[in-house]
Amino acid sequence: MTKNPYNLIYLNKHISFTFFFILLVSALNLSGQTAKKSIKAVRISKPPKIDGILNDRVWENIPVATDFFQFDPYNGEPATQKTEIKIAYNDNALFIGAMMFDTAPDSILTGLAKRDDFEYINADILTIDISPYNDGLYAFSYKVSASGVQGDEKFSPSEKDVNWDAVWESCVKINDKGWVAEIKIPYSAIRFPKKDIQIWGINFWRNIRRKREWATWTFVNKKISSVSSISRINKS
Let me know if 21 is exposed, middle or buried by CB neighbors in 10 A (0-12, 13-18, 19+): buried
Q: What pLDDT digit, counting tens, does each position of 84-141 carry?
A: 999 998 889 999 999 999 999 999 999 999 999 999 999 999 999 988 888 878 889 9
With pLDDT > 70 as the criterion, what percentage of the chain qualifies?
79
**From 6-20, 122-136, 176-190, 197-211, the region with the lowest mean pLDDT:** 6-20
Greater model confidence, 25 or 113:
113
pLDDT at 64 over 80: yes
> What is this structure's pTM?
0.84
CA distance 18 to 4: 23
Q: What topology is assigned to 9-230 in CATH?
A: Immunoglobulin-like (2.60.40)
Asked if pLDDT for residue 62 goes beyond 50, the answer is yes
* Structure confidence by residue, pLDDT tens digits, 160-171: 898 999 999 999
Q: Between 102 and 225, whose confidence is greater?
A: 102
Residue 27 has pLDDT above 80, yes or no: no
Yes or no: say if 230 and 28 are a contact pair by the CB < 8 Å rule: yes
Task: Give a three-class secondary structure readout of the chain.
Answer: CCCCCCCCEEEECCCCCCEEEECEEEECCCCCCCCCCEECCEECCCCCCCCCCCCCHHHCCCCCECCCEEEECCCCCECCCCEEEEEEECCCEEEEEEEEECCCHHHCCECCCCCCCCCCCCECEEEEEEECCCCCCCEEEEEEECCCCEEEEEECCCCEECCCCCCCEEEEEEECCEEEEEEEEEHHHCCCCCCCCCEEEEEEEEEEHHHCEEEECCCCCCCCCCCCHHHCCCCC
